[in-house]
Amino acid sequence: MMDRQTHAVKDMAALADWRRRVSETYAGIRAVPNHGAQAWTGWRAVRDDLFKSHAASPLSSDQQATLKELAYFDYDPAFRFLVGISDAVDFTPQTIALMDDGPLTLTPAFETIGLAEKLGRELTVHWIDGYGGGLFLAFTDATNGSETYGEGRYLLDGIKGADLGQIEDGRLVLDFNFAYNPCCAYAPRWSCPLPLEVNRLSSKILAGEKVVQKTA
């Protein structure tokens, strides 16, 4: 029993440190005006280091030992948007079952203004009612299953501090170059909320993390 308890404590401490490092990384990015390719390069470096060496990495020890870097599209400023926000059309919450974590409720918080003419539709940002709450935006696009993870990618996850913020006039920064795979893309033991129907894009988002890992 003691060994299991000790293991659980180490796992929780490692997860807390992972979230802390992610949050600190995004806070550093938000502190830089007009953050772009340089900030993205630093974000990639932190994410690669976490996956390669951190105790809470979703990769196995063998995968960590052979990982050179995660795979990404080249930075493209055309996929960085400053969008307005408006009330969601439908505030109906949706509850998702997450294996051992139990149910997680996503409530529409607001919708974007300005993406439809560029990406084909507006996106809905949700509020996660579990884990203390936070903004959440996961999406799918036409690259899923080929160039990117088949179940979609994350852009905002306020629980981990993964949020590029807002500018002074209130517009939201959505930079798809920072789109990343959820941990369940790498290990079946992880259970992740996946994109809802309202955030399924028919266009290709050739930015952010790819599905293929580069190994040494």
pLDDT band for 131, please (50, 70, 90 cuts): low
46-71: pLDDT as tens digits: 999 999 999 999 999 999 999 999 99
pLDDT digits (tens, 9 = 90+) for 87-116: 988 888 888 777 666 678 899 999 999 999
Lowest mean pLDDT among 18-22, 27-31, 187-191, 205-209: 187-191
Could you read off the pLDDT of 16-44 as tens digits, one per residue? 999 999 999 999 999 987 888 999 999 99
Predicted confidence at residue 35, as pLDDT, reads 83
Tokens of 29: 């990015």
Average pLDDT, the chain: 89
pLDDT-derived band at 3, boundaries 50, 70, 90: very low
Q: Please say if the pLDDT value at position 207 is more than 70.
A: yes
Residue of higher predicted confidence among 156 and 187: 156
Widest CA span in the chain = 58
Question: pLDDT value at position 110?
Answer: 94
Query: pTM of the entire structure?
Result: 0.91
Residues 6+ apart with CB under 8 A from 16: none
Please tell me the predicted confidence (pLDDT) of residue 101.
62
